[in-house]
Amino acid sequence: MPTAGKTYHVTTFGCQMNEHDSERMKGMLESLGYTEVEERSLADVILFNTCSIRESADNRFIAHLGEAKRLKSEDPTKVVGVGGCWAQSVKEEVFERFPFVDVAFGPGQIPKLAEFLTSDSITAQGFFEFETVSGRLPMKREREFQAWVQISQGCNCVCSYCIVPSTRGREVSRPAAELVAEIERLAADGVKEVTLLGQNVNSYGRDLPKGERTTFSELLALIDAIDGIERIRYTSPHPKDMREDVIRAHAELPSLCEHIHLPLQSGSSRILKAMRRTYNRERYLERVATIRELVPDCALTTDIIVGFPGETEADFEQTLEVVDQVGYDSAFTFIFSPRRGTEAAGLPDQVPHRVKVERMERLVELVQRRAHERSQRFVGRTMEVLVEGPSRTDPSKLRGRIRHNKTVNFDGVAQPGELAQVEIGSATSTTLAGEELLLSRLG
């Protein structure tokens, strides 16, 4: 199929991993000669990158698909594609439920999408099993000074609520030499901040062949040594694999940011066991204590699920206790939703929806209160801010993030991509406000 002058539109649902996959998808489409358009109705290729972690994402997605159906009925030459975890989990059912869909593909099958788009048999519906690591494709970056780099794909854990092991397969790490070469290229292109992505980043490298085996902390040191990379972030580690070498790296490597996202999921050891998280409340709190000891100012964020099957009021209160005790800088909170084919979906004692919602409200209230308190430690300090652009709420101000990953809105003159020194004047649970120190720019 000739692609010159063709256009595409991608809608992304769900997690950061998916946004990253969408960037890969865009890079692939552009290398095939497609250009991105802002509106779905103008696109020759309409793509959806789906997520199945949360039910709400599915529902939103189905509403969007309705529009694609209408566009396709008006112009049958349009191609509608559905990729990502949801497509993977329902497989051929995509075509039964949505006969207007041309192509469905799982996460990591972006090269197959390219094959599909360049083949002549565009009328055939296709679904591709997953086999490739999408990390090797060119990537279109959202901002030229920040990039995501996928270091591994898949997950060897078996968390009973999670669909990832069945949709993304076993963990496959990319060789360190390949990652370093990629990040060197990014740095030469002006990238200052990289976020390393993987389902369980700190088990990175264990699957590599003997001569190439590199641990996650070794990988961090290799990336820290790359000229031009000012900030390294990663997401997500698994608490069971969060070893002291990685924690120490936060204190020792200048570009590794003072922020650790450490998914708790539940504060009750009984529920953690049912979740098959392989750590208990005490082990988790020990990890936190090590972080606080070695990197005292480190920001800690987390993921928490409320209403896991069998969660009692007493279990939930234990989650509240841990949240209170740790004092997270922010937390992603999820209402448990049974995912197709997962162990937890079949467990007895599913928690009634109104109980889940009520617990969620109490949890969010506590998370915000503690985050607000934690935020105050930045007030009066001068923080390094990577400038991202104008503030979303007040375009006369600038917006950026500190190394601890908090957003700052500030008065100043710095350009996007620059590191500014900002004196923090006030703080809420989610954002800081301040003023750029202009004197430091003269020096």
* 199 binds, options ligand SF4, ligand 5AD, none, Cβ within 5 to 8 A by partner type: ligand SF4
Cβ–Cβ under 8 Å, residues 13 and 61: yes
Taking the C-alpha atoms of residue 40 and residue 43, their distance in angstroms, rounded to an integer, is 5
Cβ–Cβ under 8 Å, residues 153 and 135: yes
Helices (H) and strands (E) in the chain, counts: 14, 19
Q: Where does residue 217 rank: exposed (0-12), middle (13-18), buried (19+ CB within 10 A)? A: buried
* 238 binds, options ligand SF4, ligand 5AD, none, Cβ within 5 to 8 A by partner type: ligand SF4
What residues between 191 and 210 interact with ligand SF4 by CB under 6 A? 199-200
CB of 337 to ligand 5AD, least distance (A): 4
What residues between 324 and 383 interact with ligand 5AD by CB under 6 A? 334, 336-337, 339
Cβ neighbors of 227 (< 8 A, separation 6 or more) are: 187
Q: Which is nearer to ligand SF4, 49 or 236 (CB)?
A: 236
What residues between 238 and 267 interact with ligand SF4 by CB under 6 A? 238
Query: Which listed range, 88-96, 154-162, 319-327, 380-388, lies at the site for ligand SF4 (CB under 6 A)?
Result: 154-162
CB of 235 to ligand 5AD, least distance (A): 9
Which one-letter DSSP state was computed for residue 107?
Answer: T
161 binds ligand 5AD (CB under 6 A): yes
What the block records as the tokens of 193 is 């901040």
What the block records as the tokens of 7 is 């256009």
Q: Which is nearer to ligand 5AD, 81 or 239 (CB)?
A: 239
Query: Which listed range, 106-114, 161-169, 266-274, 426-434, lies at the site for ligand SF4 (CB under 6 A)?
Result: 161-169
Which one-letter DSSP state was computed for residue 417?
Answer: T
* 303 binds, options ligand 5AD, ligand SF4, none, Cβ within 5 to 8 A by partner type: ligand 5AD
Cβ neighbors of 441 (< 8 A, separation 6 or more) are: 413, 414
Q: Which is nearer to ligand SF4, 104 or 164 (CB)?
A: 164
User: Which segments within 92-200 are labelled E, that is strand?
Assistant: 103-105, 126-128, 146-150, 152-153, 172-173, 193-197
Query: Which listed range, 88-96, 156-164, 206-214, 317-325, lies at the site for ligand SF4 (CB under 6 A)?
Result: 156-164
What the block records as the tokens of 239 is 């608490």
Taking the C-alpha atoms of residue 232 and residue 197, their distance in angstroms, rounded to an integer, is 11
CB of 200 to ligand SF4, least distance (A): 5
345 binds ligand SF4 (CB under 6 A): no
165 binds ligand SF4 (CB under 6 A): yes
Q: Which is nearer to ligand SF4, 155 or 197 (CB)?
A: 155
CB of 339 to ligand 5AD, least distance (A): 5
Q: What is the residue whose two structure tokens read 């031009």?
A: 228
Binding ligand SF4 (rule: CB under 6 A), the pick from 37, 122, 157, 419 is 157
162 binds ligand 5AD (CB under 6 A): yes
Which one-letter DSSP state was computed for residue 147?
Answer: E
Sign of CA dihedral 86, 90, 91, 94: negative
Taking the C-alpha atoms of residue 224 and residue 370, their distance in angstroms, rounded to an integer, is 32
Q: Which is nearer to ligand 5AD, 335 or 414 (CB)?
A: 335
Cβ–Cβ under 8 Å, residues 194 and 230: no
Taking the C-alpha atoms of residue 207 and residue 199, their distance in angstroms, rounded to an integer, is 14
Binding ligand 5AD (rule: CB under 6 A), the pick from 235, 265, 330, 409 is 265
How many Cα atoms are found within 13 Å in the side-chain-facing hemisphere of 86?
Answer: 25
Q: Which is nearer to ligand 5AD, 8 or 161 (CB)?
A: 161
Q: Which is nearer to ligand SF4, 238 or 374 (CB)?
A: 238
By the criterion CB under 6 A, which residues form the site for ligand SF4?
155, 157, 159, 162, 164-165, 199-200, 238
By the criterion CB under 6 A, which residues form the site for ligand 5AD?
15, 53, 161-162, 263, 265, 303, 305, 334, 336-337, 339
